[in-house]
Amino acid sequence: GQSLEQPSEVTAVEGAIVQINCTYQTSGFYGLSWYQQHDGGAPTFLSYNALDGLEETGRFSSFLSRSDSYGYLLLQELQMKDSASYFCAVWGSQGNLIFGKGTKLSVKP
Amino acid sequence: DSGVTQTPKHLITATGQRVTLRCSPRSGDLSVYWYQQSLDQGLQFLIQYYNGEERAKGNILERFSAQQFPDLHSELNLSSLELGDSALYFCASSVQGDNEQFFGPGTRLTVL
């Protein structure tokens, strides 16, 4: 089966950098995705990593190490609007996404 | 706006009842996914359809069923509802083989 572990909560201040870690166990690996969800809103796609290394998209970056079954999402120059839940997800063998329980990020002024 | 629509936005019903949630995917997307999100829980994958055919099944209860119609919209049917079925139900769609799923705004189901 598949499982993902990520911290339940993280707090940081505006302008800072925060890293949200995700470790996964999966019988077959097809990629690690990250989604953002504001309270009461729909999840929105942030990034996808299939190969080892860092992918950068503006203030957000995502890293993957397949040998360690580990990835992280890095958020730089934090803004108040970044307060949300962040989910890592792996692709299952049937082509569906398996989500972690999410990390609630609170950005303080 | 993701381009995925879901109706209704809110639904309040009683235990034992049956409801139908509706989803229209983005234009051109053949894959539709259903997820359940309970309070403080992650997104639990329920079921996936691709071009009318069931493609993958997750933690979907036998009381729940879904289908995708020829026009690609999908419906999720929940029957013999229990209090624990109260949750946000999301539909998502994607292009086959694409890594990004686009989520609808969700249907908030409350079972009293």
pLDDT in tens, B81-90: 999 999 999 9
Q: What average pLDDT does range B19-43 have in this prediction?
A: 92
Distance (Å) from the alpha carbon of B51 to chain A's nearest alpha carbon:
14
Closest residue of chain A to B33, computed from CA coordinates: A96
Which residue, chain included where needed, has tokens 């572990």?
A5
Percent of chain A clearing pLDDT 90 (strictly above): 83
pLDDT at position A4, please?
93
SS3 percent helix, strand, coil of chain A, rounded to 5, is 5, 55, 40
What the block records as the tokens of B96 is 């086959």
- Beta-strand (E) ranges in chain B? 5-7, 10-13, 19-24, 31-37, 43-50, 53-57, 64-68, 74-78, 87-94, 102-103, 107-111
Closest residue of chain A to B88, computed from CA coordinates: A40
Distance (Å) from the alpha carbon of A50 to chain B's nearest alpha carbon:
10
Are the C-beta atoms of A95 and B48 separated by less than 8 Å? Answer: yes
Beta-carbon separation of B42 and A101 below 8 A? yes
Q: Is B104 at the interface with chain A, CB within 8 A?
A: yes
Closest residue of chain A to B34, computed from CA coordinates: A96
Q: How far apart are CA A46 and CA A35, in angstroms?
A: 5
pLDDT tens sequence across B41-80: 789 999 999 999 999 998 899 999 999 999 999 999 999 9
Q: How far apart are CA B50 and CA B70, in angstroms?
A: 11
Q: Higher model confidence: residue A109 or residue A92?
A: A109
Which amino acid is located at A26 in the chain? T
Determine which of B43, B45, B48, B59 to mutate to test the interface with A (most A C-beta atoms within 10 Å). B43
Are the C-beta atoms of B28 and B44 separated by less than 8 Å? Answer: no
